[in-house]
Amino acid sequence: MKILSIDLRRRIVESYESGKTRTYKETARVFGVGEATVSRLIRKKKETGDVIPGKRGGGPQRKIDLEWLTENAEQYPG
């Protein structure tokens, strides 16, 4: 997945909303992105007022067992 700059995201939405491009398909072709990307950006702008990406999730950080790590580091020095 290619990460789009905030500027490009805003230009995509502006182009569609201003009528410079008339369809998601045309907008996608002009900016070299997929139609689904255009759709998501338009929806995000309507729902939040901007196209800035939200924070990406993720699970909790793994906790390393220091005792295990020390034992294995000594046993298999590299």
| Domains of the chain by start residue, with CATH | 1-52 (1.10.10)
Of 6, 30, 5, give the one whose Cα is nearest residue 20. 30
Tens of pLDDT, residues 1-23: 788 999 999 999 999 999 999 99
Residue 59: Cβ-neighbour burial (10 angstroms; 0-12, 13-18, 19+): exposed
Tens of pLDDT, residues 34-59: 999 999 999 999 999 999 988 878 88
